[in-house]
């Protein structure tokens, strides 16, 4: 039995080593500071605290109340939100709760299709299917990689959805919330915004400000551009707080993950101090990497718009065999990315593109000059067809100087386990 446990420990150790030597560029990931990782391993991970601060169904929650109250206070302050719920255990969980609160079976909702960037939790495979919602897709302009505003306004007035759900997984440019608000008011629609990917940019006053632009509810994972523990958050207007809170507990969460709440509370403080600087560097890194990739010969989407306003870059690699093969080749060179569907794609198995995210590279301190080196490394693998193992040696060399977490108070080692006993 000990052998089996040792096998697991060894795999975890090797996983740390793999990431320590790699360029992690999956757009939905990040790393937490050392203090957050220590909190994730604390006794909080064993406990239950159903209910709200000061009104729990379990005893023993004296300090859990202090921690959750601090997370709520921090999120209200950072996002300037009237009401906050810190209990959702993931972005999908937060979306399920929001859809539960804001719709009834049979209602019409408007979302982005998956090939155009929408997330699976906005689609028929998830709550919209289970709750029998009538899905209407936003009209999308693939050249602009964004929602077609005039057509959207017409569609809202024509279809009269109960809910308009913005936000995306492939998310290069801010969504037209302001433009939708007037039409939504005419037909009595609510607006929700899934900020999972861009929550850290919003926290740093970049990309867009959905609550001020007209969203009633914002959901978001707390571990993509927002560099906290895996989990999620919901922000909303006071007018909706009862519906949202009931849809989270008891609607879709029994016990929330208290160690995550503690980690979130700390990350919120980190973002108050460093968020603006961090978000600005992410945007600059993404634009810089996109520009260099373009100059190296890649078909990077939306050159005419400066490529991106977020942490993401979308690259059409069809002429190099498609997203699947390219992502696998890059992995052999230690560059971790993912294949991604683009608007005209039908198959998620071998889509047209790859999606690159620079938020983790930014969190470990990389800047514009490293983006240039990375563009060349990617080109050598994908365009020149160079032996991946040779490129990997240079990836390891480059990564050596970037193994500490920045934009936090402890600058801990990013890829070592801080709690190995
Ligand atoms: C737009 C969007 N919403 C929600 C999610 C799901 O988040 P989680 O993995 O936290 O459930 C994702 C995942 O990447 C996403 O891209």
Q: pLDDT by residue (tens digit) across 330-357?
A: 999 999 999 999 998 988 898 999 999 9
Nearest atom (ligand 1) to Cα of 169 = 16
Q: Which of 90, 121, 127 to mutate to test the pocket of ligand 1 (most atoms within 8 A of CB)?
A: 121
* pLDDT at site 420: 61
Confidence of residue 206 (pLDDT cuts 50, 70, 90): very high
The whole-angstrom separation of Cα 346 and Cα 197 is 23
Confidence of residue 125 (pLDDT cuts 50, 70, 90): confident
Cα 326 to ligand 1 centroid, rounded to whole Å: 23
* pLDDT at site 418: 76
Percent of the chain with pLDDT over 70: 100
Q: Whose CA is nearest to atom 4 of ligand 1?
A: 91
SS3 354: strand
What mean pLDDT comes out for the span 84-109? Answer: 97
Which of residues 191 and 418 earns the better pLDDT score?
191
What mean pLDDT comes out for the span 27-50? Answer: 97
Instruction: Examine the pLDDT at 24 and tell me if it is beyond 70.
Output: yes
Burial (CB count within 10 angstroms: exposed 0-12, middle 13-18, buried 19+), residue 23? buried
Q: Which of 196, 201, 207, 233 to mutate to test the pocket of ligand 1 (most atoms within 8 A of CB)?
A: 196
The whole-angstrom separation of Cα 314 and Cα 145 is 10
Q: Whose CA is nearest to atom 14 of ligand 1?
A: 28
Instruction: Examine the pLDDT at 421 and tell me if it is beyond 60.
Output: no
SS3 110: strand
What is 42-83 written as a DSSP string? SGGGG----EETTEESSS--HHHHHHHHHHHHHHHHHHT-SE
Q: Whose CA is nearest to atom 8 of ligand 1?
A: 91
Confidence of residue 414 (pLDDT cuts 50, 70, 90): very high
Kindly give, in sequence order, each residue whose CB lies less than 8 Å from that of residue 34, ignoring residues fewer than 6 positions away.
405, 408, 410, 412, 413, 418
Nearest atom (ligand 1) to Cα of 93 = 11
Kindly give, in sequence order, each residue whose CB lies less than 8 Å from that of residue 272, ignoring residues fewer than 6 positions away.
74, 77, 78
Domain 36-268 = CATH 3.40.640.10: yes
Reference 33, options 402, 403, 420, 406; nearest CA is 406
Q: Are 225 and 30 in contact (CB under 8 A)?
A: yes
* pLDDT at site 127: 84
Map out the domains of the chain as residue ranges. 36-268
Nearest atom (ligand 1) to Cα of 122 = 3
Instruction: Examine the pLDDT at 172 and tell me if it is beyond 60.
Output: yes
* pLDDT at site 219: 98
For ligand 1, residues with CB inside 6 Å are: 28, 90-92, 95, 119, 121, 167-169, 194, 196-197, 221, 232
Q: Are 328 and 388 in contact (CB under 8 A)?
A: no
Cα 192 to ligand 1 centroid, rounded to whole Å: 15
HSE, side-chain direction, 13 A CA sphere, residue 116: 20
Nearest atom (ligand 1) to Cα of 167 = 1
pLDDT digits (tens, 9 = 90+) for 223-266: 999 999 999 999 999 999 999 999 999 999 999 999 999 999 99
The whole-angstrom separation of Cα 233 and Cα 98 is 11
What mean pLDDT comes out for the span 282-307? Answer: 98
Confidence of residue 43 (pLDDT cuts 50, 70, 90): very high
């Amino acid at each position: 039995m000990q052998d089996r446990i040792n096998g697991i420990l060894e795999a975890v150790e090797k996983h740390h080593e793999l990431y320590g030597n790699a360029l992690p560029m999956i757009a939905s990931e990040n790393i937490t500071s050392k203090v957050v990782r220590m909190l994730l391993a604390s006794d909080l991970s064993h406990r239950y605290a159903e209910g709200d601060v000061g009104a729990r169904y379990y005893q023993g929650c004296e300090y859990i109340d202090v921690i959750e109250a601090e997370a709520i206070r921090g999120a209200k302050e950072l996002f300037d939100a009237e009401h906050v719920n810190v209990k959702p255990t993931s972005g999908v969980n937060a979306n399920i709760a929001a859809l539960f609160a804001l719709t009834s079976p049979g209602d019409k909702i408007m979302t982005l299709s998956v090939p155009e960037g929408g997330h699976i939790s906005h689609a028929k495979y998830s709550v919209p299917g289970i709750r029998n919602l009538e899905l209407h897709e936003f009209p999308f302009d693939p050249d602009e990689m964004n929602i077609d505003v005039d057509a959207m306004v017409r569609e809202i007035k024509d279809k009269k959805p109960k809910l308009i759900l913005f936000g995306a997984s492939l998310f290069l440019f801010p969504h037209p919330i302001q433009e939708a608000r007037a039409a939504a008011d005419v037909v009595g629609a609510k607006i929700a915004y899934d900020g999972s990917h861009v929550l850290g940019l919003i926290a740093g006053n970049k990309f867009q400000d959905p609550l001020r632009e007209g969203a009633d509810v914002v959901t978001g994972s707390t571990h993509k551009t927002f560099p906290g523990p895996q989990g999620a958050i919901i922000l909303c207007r006071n007018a909706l707080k009862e519906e949202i809170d009931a849809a989270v507990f008891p609607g879709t969460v029994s016990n929330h993950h208290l160690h995550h709440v503690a980690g979130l509370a700390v990350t919120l403080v980190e973002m108050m101090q460093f968020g603006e600087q961090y978000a600005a560097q992410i945007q600059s890194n993404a634009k810089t990497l996109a520009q260099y990739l373009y100059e190296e010969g890649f078909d990077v989407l939306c050159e005419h718009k400066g490529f991106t306003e977020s942490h993401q870059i979308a690259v059409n690699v069809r002429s190099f065999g498609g997203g699947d093969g390219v992502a696998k080749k890059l992995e052999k060179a230690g560059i971790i990315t993912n294949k991604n569907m683009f608007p005209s794609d039908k198959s998620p198995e071998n889509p047209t593109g790859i999606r690159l995210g620079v938020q983790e590279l930014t969190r470990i301190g990389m800047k514009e000059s490293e983006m240039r080196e990375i563009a060349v490394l990617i080109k050598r693998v994908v365009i020149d067809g160079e032996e991946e193992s040779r490129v990997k040696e240079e990836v390891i060399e480059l990564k050596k100087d970037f193994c500490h977490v920045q934009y936090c108070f402890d600058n801990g080692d990013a890829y070592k386990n801080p709690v190995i006993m």
